[in-house]
Amino acid sequence: DWSSDVCSSDLFKERRIVMKFISWNVNGFRAALRHDFIGTFDKLDADIFGIQNIRLSQDEVHLQFPGYYEYWNYSDEKGYDGVAIFTKKKPLAVTLGIGIPPYDRQGRTITLEYSNFYYINTYVPFSGEDLSRLGFRMGWDDAFRAYVADLMKNKPVIIGGDMSVANEPIDLAESDENRHHAGFTEQERSDFKKLLKLGLVDTFRYMHPEKAGKYTYWSYRYNARSKNKGWRLDYFLVSDSLKSSIKKAKILSTIPGSDHCPISLKLNMK
């Protein structure tokens, strides 16, 4: 039971368990299914498994994930965006969206509430190759940050998802060439740092502060993945109070099926 603090009858020590989280931008759930998503899902055996950019609604696929509760949030416009989440433990409450209709119509966020944390699965808007959606993206950043800050007043948060930004030059292969490109603009990076300043930890960078060449996204063009010309766009962020609970944070770059790879997080939770 994730949500209870259990004391042994003789030593009165709280019980702690290792929880495993997976996040993956599947870039179209149908395509992921053709690339053995079910087999990967079973092998990874996560307690909570969040996916982004599903591009369909729940009734368009007929799947069963034994042992999991599942929750879906999809875009009003068919074939775009959307997220889903699969969890072994039934949450106390489920929230779809962040309470702002222009952003919620795209099905970008699901929040699960448990007794001792919130889990947020999110897919941050892409600013567009010509930056035509940068204004929309920055509005989203402000709204999402306010949403997260409000939750953090109650209990710790764990955020898993495609944040659509490489935070620092170490987080992409060609930083000099991409300083004015979507995902590495000063505006996007500044907004991400504002999110972290709420009291959040980038778990991968916390565990691997100097590790370069570790990316989660590679363009399908120019053989980018085989050349490892990538970007680290996918993150697990946790409240500062959970920092000491971080056990492992990994990028699962050998798993195919999308232009993104899954990321994993293990927390030693009460």
Active site residues: 123, 162
Cα–Cα distance, 42 to 40 (Å, whole number): 5
Distance of CA 65 to the CA centre of its chain: 20
Distance of CA 214 to the CA centre of its chain: 16
* Structural contact between residues 145 and 163, judged by C-beta atoms closer than 8 angstroms: no
Assign 238 to helix, strand or coil.
strand
Residue 190 sits at φ, ψ, to 5 deg, of -65, -40
* Structural contact between residues 183 and 166, judged by C-beta atoms closer than 8 angstroms: yes
Give the Å distances, CA to CA, from 225 to 33, 130, 234, 254: 20, 23, 16, 10
Cα–Cα distance, 243 to 185 (Å, whole number): 28
Cα–Cα distance, 21 to 119 (Å, whole number): 10
Tokens of 65: 């994930």
Cα–Cα distance, 33 to 39 (Å, whole number): 9
Give the Å distances, CA to CA, from 144 to 99, 174, 260: 9, 28, 22
Largest CA distance in the chain: 64
Q: How would you list the strands of the sheet with 17-25, edge to edge?
A: 69-73, 83-87, 48-52, 17-25, 263-269, 246-251
